[in-house]
Amino acid sequence: MKNINIDDGREAITVNGDPERVIYIQASDFNIQLRAQRARKEISKMLDEVDAKDPKNEVEFADYLEEVDTKLREQINYIFNYDVSKPVFGLCSPLMSLKSGKCYVEEFLEAITPVIEEIAKKSAAASEKRIAKHTKRYGG
């Protein structure tokens, strides 16, 4: 089978330094920051709802948490435009409590947001440089 390689600007990021847990950030996708902003709002709402939920009925609460787990994964996948929840969370729940007292999804978002911003800035700078090169002769 033939193959072509196109440098699409994706940057590989490992989770906890594990080469089996790699996610890719598409630097030239300027909408990734917009999707991240929207997803953070939705995730924040979900986490507030979980905190407010009364877990009296264990079976119903377990079903509810499973539903929230699925929705959290969908929001994380939405940010990156593909399934990153598998390498990020694996079989663990995005609601899993960590040593920091935050849940896994919160820690992930806090860690990945500056990385997304840095990659987006580099991509924007490269794009501006390319555009300036082509518009220079027109006085731009």
Q: Residue ranges of the alpha helices (H) in the chain?
A: 31-52, 58-80, 85-89, 104-135
Residue 22: the pLDDT is 95
3-state secondary structure of 139: coil
Chain centroid to Cα 68, Å, comes to 17
Query: What's at 127, amino acid-wise?
Result: S
Query: Terminus-to-terminus CA distance in the chain, angstroms?
Result: 45
Is it the case that residue 90 has pLDDT exceeding 60? yes
Q: What is the mean pLDDT of residues 35-40?
A: 95
Q: What is the mean pLDDT of residues 76-105?
A: 96
Q: What is the mean pLDDT of residues 105-122?
A: 91
Residue 46: the pLDDT is 97
Is it the case that residue 140 has pLDDT exceeding 60? no
Give 129's pLDDT tier (boundaries 50, 70, 90): low
